[in-house]
Amino acid sequence: MPITDWPASERPREKLLEQGAQALSDAELLAIFLRTGVAGKTAVDLAQDLLVEFGSLRALLKADQEGFCQAKGLGLAKYAQLQAVLEMGRRHLEEGVRRGQLIQNPKDVEQYLALKMREYPFEIFGCVFLDNQHRVICFEEMFRGTINSANVHPREVLRKAMELNAAALILVHNHPSGCTEPSQADQMITQRLKQVLELIDVRILDHFIVGDRVVSMAERGMV
């Protein structure tokens, strides 16, 4: 049965307009992107097949051009369209950390940091530097490590904060393993940085750990 014959409340596009995008499944969202199905399959059927073939929505979105275009119902036009959509999403999130942007809550930059850090195969430790009104000065990747750890040097963070005349920081690092539970080392470096930065009256507002999800150490009472 074609989607046009479905009850309006079950059609992906109408459901999105009525309930919001968050109410849709991965297959329904993908079906809206696909727009049409293939012979014998609706766009939703095709979307479900593609999610099984690639393993997840994220894996499909990360697929290279060759792998993407070889899948049934896809091709160069869809690949180009997807890359444009992903880039628009990245630029939308980046607007939240542009210089001069007011950060009223560290959560305001969580999505951007997750997108920025999640795909690295090795550990990255970075800082969002803020002025005394909590406006963004810049985001800096401070240290790069191996698959297991990054050597974080408090004096370098201190030096950068002084150079930028920062008044507050949001810390972030990724766990390539996907596990986001704060380790003892994560807690130790957070407290060490907090002690060092207090010497120049710079506050740490939060420390995000990015993996399969994002964990706020401030919400855990660890900052």
CATH number at residue 145: 3.40.140.10
User: β-pairing, 136-144 with 203-210?
Assistant: unpaired
pLDDT at 7: 79
The answer to the question of residue 85 being in a domain is: yes
Same structural domain for residues 103 and 210?
yes
Q: Which residues form the domain of 197? A: 98-216
pLDDT at 162: 96
Q: What are the tens digits of pLDDT across the range 45-96?
A: 999 999 999 999 988 988 999 999 999 889 999 999 999 988 888 887 777 6
Q: What Cα–Cα distance (Å) separates residue 27 from each residue in 22, 89, 91, 143, 204?
A: 12, 19, 25, 38, 40
Give the span between the Cα atoms of 114 and 65, in whole angstroms: 24
Same structural domain for residues 75 and 147?
no
pLDDT at 147: 60
Which residue, among 107, 116, 118, has the nearest Cα to 140 in the 3D structure? 116
pLDDT at 148: 62
Same structural domain for residues 116 and 165?
yes
The answer to the question of residue 82 being in a domain is: yes
Q: What Cα–Cα distance (Å) separates residue 195 from each residue in 77, 141, 159, 192?
A: 53, 21, 14, 5
The answer to the question of residue 223 being in a domain is: no
pLDDT at 79: 92
Residue after which a domain boundary falls, among 68, 94, 120: 94
Write down the pTM of the prediction.
0.72
The number of distinct structural domains making up the chain is 2
pLDDT at 26: 92
Give the span between the Cα atoms of 219 and 221, in whole angstroms: 5
Same structural domain for residues 81 and 110?
no
Low-confidence spans in the chain with pLDDT less than 70? 1-2, 5, 96, 147-150
Same structural domain for residues 78 and 104?
no
pLDDT at 149: 61
The answer to the question of residue 191 being in a domain is: yes
The answer to the question of residue 18 being in a domain is: yes
pLDDT at 22: 87
